[in-house]
């Protein structure tokens, strides 16, 4: 059985490899512990009502869940600029630095069109174009995230999206967080709706009298937001189905306990469902980490959230070697992977599944969250096995271009007819035969 440490919280320590795999699998499935069935029923009702009644339903649900009537739904555009002008200079500087770095990195992601010529002179290609309108969801509730504004708005703008709108929950006073509004202004977004939850997703997916229908919805949210995004996929594109956040730290004897503890807590403070995992080859670090976390929790402004996260979803695993650490990490496919080891680059080459890898002691996850450049919207709960970060391509779509000439059709037409015949599709074959006859 996992060991429990005597402290103000319980942090499991596992030494058996099979038990470690079982514990990591439990963490991957942690969202199943939420009341998804009841939540899905509520989400379905909200989506149906907003689709049918538009603004009236949006206003009613916002008043019920958020405690104010959003009339009007949109934040006046001048308020965005006012919020920016009234930010402290140091925060303005920090946001501008983040905006520059994120923009620079995402500009390098722009996909190139493919234009090529086949063996008979036929033209083949793939052309990229931005979607017309993107809707960004920026969470509120426990905290507000101007970093989420930048991480979603920048790639949409770099993609060339003509119209970008944001939905973000307001407080009971009806006010959206002013730093979120300021970041929106900095990113070139001019339309912010003070809406949250499933009703915001429904409004962007279906369109209402006030909220335009979008082509792609991106941005993280709570269970209701995620279920709503899942339900409207197909009506609109979505970036991903983000679950609660997670970090996995691989550490050897070179790692400093206080830094490891701080990095685990940096994840735990997000949400009671956040997972913070340490896999180490250093048994002494495994024994020290609980005490170090306890020290850093003294006076912590989000202590209750941290303790709930660590009690339920915290884990320490002791391995014999870094190869075993990497194998366990790949089985978990973490959203964030920190390599606090002597040779991080070499270990990174061994890793196959991770949303983002942070190399060495000078690369805490926080730099990726805010301003390193790569996107912080990452796959969670094992989805890094098959997907990656939000990118410029999220807000683009590609079109194939096929331009055969007579020579190309003559050279390949018989094969097309054979294949069409094998599938029983007479007119497919006939469309080629008539051109060649």
CATH code of residue 174: 3.40.50.1980
For residues 357 and 319, state if they share a domain. Answer: yes
Same domain, 254 and 353: yes
For residues 43 and 55, membership in a common domain is answered with: yes
pLDDT in the model for residue 32: 66
Q: Which two tokens stand for residue 67?
A: 């405690």
How far is C-alpha 36 from the chain's CA centre? 20
**Predicted confidence (pLDDT) per residue in 259-270, tens digit:** 999 999 999 999
Rounded CA separation 347/333 (Å): 15
Token output for 345: 């680059």
**Contact present, 180 and 138 (Cβ < 8 Å):** yes
- Of 202, 193, 200, residue with least CA distance to 44: 202
- Domain final residue pick, 176, 205, 238: 238
Q: Is 60 a catalytic residue?
A: no
Q: Are 378 and 355 in contact (CB under 8 A)?
A: yes
Say yes or no: 263 and 227 in one domain.
Answer: no
Q: Which pLDDT tens digits describe the chain residue by residue (437 residues)?
A: 444 444 467 789 999 999 999 999 999 988 765 557 778 899 999 999 999 999 999 999 999 999 999 999 999 999 999 999 999 999 999 999 999 999 999 999 999 999 999 999 999 999 999 999 999 999 985 567 999 999 999 999 999 999 999 999 999 999 999 999 999 999 999 999 999 999 999 999 999 999 999 999 999 998 899 999 999 999 999 999 988 999 999 999 999 999 999 999 999 999 899 999 999 999 999 999 999 999 999 999 999 999 999 999 999 999 999 999 999 999 999 999 999 999 999 999 999 999 999 999 999 999 999 999 999 999 999 999 999 999 999 999 999 999 999 999 999 999 999 999 999 999 999 999 999 98
Query: Whole domain around residue 424: which residue ranges?
Result: 404-436
- Given the residues 23, 336, 365, 376, the one annotated as active site: 336
- Output phi, psi for 241, to 5 deg: -110, 90
- The residue among 238, 265, 293 that closes a domain is 238
Residue 393 falls inside a structural domain = no
Q: Which residue has the tokens 């089985």?
A: 331
| Token pair 């009506």: residue | 235
Quick one: 275 and 202 in the same domain?
no
Q: Has residue 416 been placed in a domain?
A: yes
Residue 391 resides in a domain: no
Judge whether 390 lies within some domain.
no
Same domain for 113 and 166: yes
Q: Are 315 and 277 in contact (CB under 8 A)?
A: yes
Same domain, 175 and 324: no
Looking at 238, 261, 279, the residue that finishes a domain is 238
Task: Give me the residues paired with residue 128 across strands.
Answer: 398
- Cβ-contact 133, 165 below 8 angstroms: yes
Angstrom distances, CA of residue 333 to CA of 53, 117, 170, 417, 435: 41, 40, 34, 45, 52
- Whether 428 sits among the annotated catalytic residues: the reply is no
Cα-flanking dihedrals φ and ψ of residue 32, to 5°?
A: -65, -15
Contacts for 106 with CB less than 8 Å, ≥ 6 apart: 154, 155, 158, 373, 375, 391, 392
All residues at 6 or more sequence positions from 244 whose CB lies less than 8 Å from its CB, including other chains? 30, 31, 270, 271, 273, 274, 275, 380, 381
Together in a domain, 201 and 223? yes
Question: Residues 335, 338, 365, 376: which is the catalytic one?
Answer: 335
| Residue 337 sits in the same domain as residue 263 | yes
Residues ≥6 apart with Cβ < 8 Å to 248? 277, 278, 279, 329, 332, 334, 336, 337, 338
Task: Tally the domains of the chain.
Answer: 3
Specify whether 138 is located in the same domain as 44: yes
Q: What pLDDT is attached to residue 6? A: 46
Would residue 395 count as lying in a domain? Answer: no
| Token output for 25 | 């699998």
On whether both 254 and 311 belong to a single domain, the answer is: yes
CA distance 223 to 337: 24
Residue 185 maps to a domain: yes
Identify whether 46 is part of a domain.
Answer: yes
Q: What is the pLDDT of residue 127?
A: 98
Same domain, 280 and 316: yes
The whole-number pLDDT of residue 4 equals: 46
CB atoms within 10 A of CB 327: 17
Q: Is residue 392 part of a domain?
A: no
């Amino acid at each position: 059985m996992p060991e429990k440490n005597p402290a103000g919280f319980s942090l499991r320590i596992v030494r058996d490899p099979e038990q470690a795999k079982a514990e990591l699998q439990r963490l991957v499935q942690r969202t199943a512990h939420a009341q998804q069935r009841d939540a899905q029923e509520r989400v379905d009702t909200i989506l149906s009502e907003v689709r049918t009644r538009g603004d009236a339903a949006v206003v009613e649900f916002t008043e019920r869940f958020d405690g104010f009537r959003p009339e009007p739904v949109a934040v006046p555009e001048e308020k965005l600029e006012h919020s920016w002008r009234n930010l402290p200079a140091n925060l303005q500087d920090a946001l501008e630095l983040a905006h520059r770095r994120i923009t620079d990195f995402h500009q390098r992601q722009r996909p190139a069109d493919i234009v090529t010529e086949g063996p008979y002179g036929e033209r083949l290609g793939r052309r990229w174009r931005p979607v017309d309108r993107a809707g960004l969801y920026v969470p509120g509730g426990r905290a507000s995230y101007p970093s989420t504004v930048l991480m979603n708005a920048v790639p949409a703008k770099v993609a060339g999206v003509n119209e970008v709108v944001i939905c973000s929950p307001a407080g009971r006073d009806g006010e959206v967080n002013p730093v979120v509004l300021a970041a929106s202004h900095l990113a070139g977004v001019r339309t912010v709706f003070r809406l949250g939850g499933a009703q915001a997703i429904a409004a962007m997916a279906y369109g209402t009298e006030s909220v335009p229908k979008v082509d792609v919805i991106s941005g993280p949210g709570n269970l209701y937001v995620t279920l709503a995004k899942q339900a409207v996929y197909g009506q609109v594109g979505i970036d991903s189905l983000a679950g609660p956040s997670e970090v996995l730290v691989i550490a050897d004897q070179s790692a400093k306990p206080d830094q490891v503890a701080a990095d685990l807590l940096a994840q735990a403070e997000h949400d009671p469902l956040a997972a913070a995992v340490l896999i180490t080859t250093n048994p002494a670090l495994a024994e020290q980490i609980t005490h170090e976390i306890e020290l850093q929790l003294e006076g912590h402004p989000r202590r209750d959230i941290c303790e709930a996260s660590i009690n339920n979803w915290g884990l320490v695993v002791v391995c014999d070697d870094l190869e075993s650490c990497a194998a366990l990490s790949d089985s978990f496919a973490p959203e964030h992977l920190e390599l606090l080891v002597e040779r991080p680059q070499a270990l990174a080459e061994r890793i196959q599944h991770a949303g983002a890898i942070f190399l060495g002691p000078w690369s805490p996850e926080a730099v990726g969250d805010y301003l390193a450049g790569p996107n912080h919207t990452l796959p969670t709960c094992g989805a890094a096995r098959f997907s990656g970060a939000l990118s410029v391509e999220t807000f683009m779509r590609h079109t194939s271009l096929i331009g055969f000439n007579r020579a190309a059709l003559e050279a390949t037409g018989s094969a097309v007819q054979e294949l069409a015949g094998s599938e029983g599709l007479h007119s497919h074959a006939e469309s080629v035969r008539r051109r060649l006859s």
